[in-house]
Amino acid sequence: MIQQAFFAYFAFAITVLALVVITRKNPIHSVAWMLLLFFHIAALYLFLNAEFLAAVQVIVYAGGILVLFLFAVLLVNVREEMRISRFIGAGAAGFTFAVGLLVVVLMALRSFIAAPPGMYTIEHIQQETNAIALGKVLYTEFLYPFEITSLILLVAIIGAIVLAKKGLRG
């Protein structure tokens, strides 16, 4: 019962915060609300016995990506932002299709059939700790994707520099 109550709170908070994030006129407010949203999502991960990912969520999203967004937001003329409409002309169509997507996927969810459970029971993970169990899978079965991901990050770093640096492209 208490678990359902906790989940109800977090689910409600996440939904509301997400709506708040995308409807703020001032982008700085959006970023601030988003920080709060990410903490709630991280808490939800803890619920699901994913401590490592909860930590990553806080560190990477809250600590890294949001700071980046904050930097970018500083470019924006907030005063002008407050003056004009926050949505584009076709925003209503966007809303329609987003709701349509929601409805269709929710309908499809009713026919979801779970696969047979795997070997990583809660006891097993607790015995091994989440980080070790994750690491074992990551560095064996997913070694190549892991290396490729590192390459993607490298390319992203170089690409970001090339794109953002003034005068590099002629």
Partner 1 sequence: MELQFYHVLIPFLPLVGFIVNILIGKEVTRYGAHWPGVLTVAGSWVCSLFTLRDVLAGHTIDADLYSWIVSGTFKVSVGFLIDPLTAVMLIVVTTCATLIHIYSIGYMHGDTGYYRFFAYLNLFTFCMLMLVMGNNFLLLYFGWEGVGLCSYFLIGYYFNKKSAADAGKKAFIVNRFGDFGFGIGVFMVFIAFGTLHYADVFGNVSSIAGQRVDFLGFTVDLPTLIALLLFCGAVGKSAQIPLHVWLPDAMEGPTPVSALIHAATMVTAGVFMVARCNPIFNLSPFAMDTVAIIGAATSLFAATIAITQNDIKRIIAYSTCSHLGLMFLACGVGAYAAGIFHLYTHAFFKALLFLAAGSVIHAVHTNDIQEMGGLKKYMPITYAVFIIAALSAAGVPGFSGFFSKDEIIWSAYASHSSVGKLVWLMGTAVAFFTPLYTFRLIFLTFHGTYRGGHHAEAHGHAVTHSAHAHPAPHTSGHGAHDAGHGSHDPGHDTHGSGHNTHAAGHGAQGSHHGEHHIHESPKIMTVPLMFLAVGAVAAGWVGIPPILGGGAHFAHFLEPVLGHPEFHGTHAEEWAVMGLSTTIALLGIGLAAFFYLRKTDLPKKLAEQFSMLYRISFRKYYVDELYHYTIVKPTLWIANSVLVAITDAKIIEGIVNGVPGAIGRFSQSLRKIQTGIVEHYGIFMAAGAVFILALLYFMR
Partner 2 sequence: MVPLSWYMVLSVIVFAIGVFGFLSRRNVILMFMSIELMLNGVNINLIALSHYLQDLRGQILAFFVIAVAAAEAAIGLAIVIALFRNKATAHVDDVKELRG
Residues 21-50 binding partner 1 (CB under 8 A) are none
Q: How many CB atoms lie within 10 A of CB 98?
A: 10
Q: What secondary structure letter does DSSP report for 76?
A: S
Q: Does 142 bind partner 2 (CB under 8 A)?
A: yes
84 lines the binding site for partner 2 (CB under 8 A):
yes
Concatenating the DSSP letter of every residue in 94-130 gives: HHHHHHHHHHHHHHHHTT--PPPP-S--HHHHHHH-H
Cα–Cα distance between 20 and 33 in angstroms, integer? 7
137 binds partner 2 (CB under 8 A): yes
Least distance (Å) between residue 136 CB and partner 2:
8
46 binds, among partner 2, partner 1, none (CB under 5 to 8 A by kind): none
Shortest Å distance, C-beta 57 to partner 1: 26
Q: Which one, of 48, 52, 41, lies nearest residue 130 by Cα?
A: 52
**Closer residue to partner 1 (CB): 103 or 161:** 103
Rounded-to-integer distance, Cα 78 and Cα 73, Å:
9
Verify binding: residue 82, partner 2, rule CB under 8 A: no
* Residues 29/66, Cβ–Cβ less than 8 Å: no
67-96 residues in contact with partner 1 (CB under 8 A) are 88, 90, 93-94
Residues 78 and 26: beta-carbon distance below 8 Å: yes
52 is an interface residue for partner 2 by CB under 8 A: yes
Which residues inside 108-137 make contact with partner 1, applying CB under 8 A?
Answer: 108, 111
Residues 27, 78: contact at Cβ < 8 Å? yes
- In this chain, which of 83, 111, 122, 144 binds partner 2, going by CB under 8 A? 122
Give me the residues that bind partner 1 (CB under 8 A), please.
88, 90, 93-94, 97-98, 100-101, 104-105, 107-108, 111
